[in-house]
Amino acid sequence: MDFAHLALARDPHDRLGLHRTDEAWIDGRWADPGSRVLVVSGTRVRPRDGALEWLPTAEAPDGVRVLLGDRGDATWWAVIVDGALAKEEPEAWFPLRGLLPFLSGDQADKAPLVFHALGLAEWHWATRHCPRCGGHLMPRAAGHELVCEQCGKPQFPRTDPAVIMLIAAGEPGSDDERCLLGRGSQWPEGRFSTLAGFCEPGETLEDAVRREVAEETGVVVGEVTYFGNQPWPLPSSLMLGFFGRAVTEEIRLDDDDVDEARWFTRAQMREEAEAGTLVLPGGVSISRSLIEHWYGGPLPGSW
């Protein structure tokens, strides 16, 4: 199968990490007429005419200059300015989740650049003071490092590992095989997805799968196998996809994050998706890829 979530990580750019502290090289590439820059106001971006706007660097406002890297014949950048621009026109500036529709089709190749830019912007927004002494932080290394002016301690961008899993029960491949989906407490009726949660310190990814499923649904999971991963900077996650086999099937909802959980056979999933009573995640999510891989093909409808 051609999984839609992989489009958001296809054709990665060369991040040029060895050049981030070379100021002369940075200035030369910034001055190149072929370089392009994405303006980020706080953590938001303004699309124009149905697409994201990549400006010549000569037209970029002042702000934190972030080197994203080389792709094709151009060097790509982001400039992070304060959130005032987005506050002046809130309906015109979108957070990353709102930008996902602009990262499909012929714009999908820019997704790794946008994820890089917005991930760093979220980190700059959330990391205002030194966690050791409370001092002021200054950017360096082309926006990929913050250093405390008071104690000198550097800070680096963080990525939080999160597991996302499709749990199955019954004979694999049989008509009776079923998978477990849950509905979040803030979601409307009929909207279901795979279960997910963050990995805790000192925990393996496989054990995080078992713990999260048990906490959210009471279902005990045995075998866990890796499927794939997806950068998901909303604001700073790496989604690690797994399949798991259930040891028990009784559902017990003790977690406030999950309002409803159900087992679905393939026939039930298809019937309810066609009727619109089951609404599954969009194609750009690894959750959709997990579901359709288990189902064996594409399904109708999405968030």
DSSP string over 152-214: --EE----EEEEEEEEEESSTTSTT-EEEEEEETTSPTTB-B-EEEEPPTT--HHHHHHHHHH
Give pLDDT tens digits for 182-233: 999 889 999 999 999 999 999 999 999 999 999 999 999 999 999 999 998 8
Contact 106, 58 (CB under 8 A): no
Torsion, CA 240, CA 241, CA 246, CA 247, rounded to 10 = -30
pLDDT at residue 113 is higher than 80: yes
The predicted structure's pLDDT at residue 61: 95
pLDDT at residue 107 is higher than 90: no
pLDDT at residue 6 is higher than 90: no
Q: Is the pTM of this model over 0.85?
A: yes
Average pLDDT (109-127) is 94
Contact 159, 236 (CB under 8 A): yes
The alpha carbon of 256 is separated from its chain's Cα centroid by a whole number of angstroms, namely 23
Distance (Å) of CA 255 to CA 23, 129, 147, 201, 263: 51, 34, 39, 20, 17
The predicted structure's pLDDT at residue 243: 98
pLDDT band for position 1 (50/70/90)?
A: low
Average pLDDT (279-295) is 93
The predicted structure's pLDDT at residue 97: 87
pLDDT band for position 100 (50/70/90)?
A: confident
pLDDT at residue 250 is higher than 90: yes
CATH assignment of 160-295, among 2.40.128.110, 3.40.50.620, 3.40.50.300, 3.90.79.10: 3.90.79.10
Given the DSSP bridges, would you call strands 160-169 and 237-246 parallel, antiparallel or unpaired?
Answer: parallel
Residue spans of the domains in the chain: they are 4-126, 160-295
Helix axes 286-295, 266-275, angle to 10 degrees: 120
Q: Of 126, 118, 122, nearest to 99 (Cα)?
A: 118
User: Tell me, what DSSP letter sits at residue 280?
Assistant: P
How many angstroms separate the CA atoms of 138 and 149, rounded?
A: 7
pLDDT band for position 10 (50/70/90)?
A: confident
pLDDT at residue 281 is higher than 80: yes
Report the share of the chain in percent with pLDDT over 70: 99
The predicted structure's pLDDT at residue 269: 97
Give pLDDT tens digits for 252-262: 998 788 999 99
The predicted structure's pLDDT at residue 302: 81
Report the share of the chain in percent with pLDDT over 90: 83
Contact 57, 78 (CB under 8 A): no
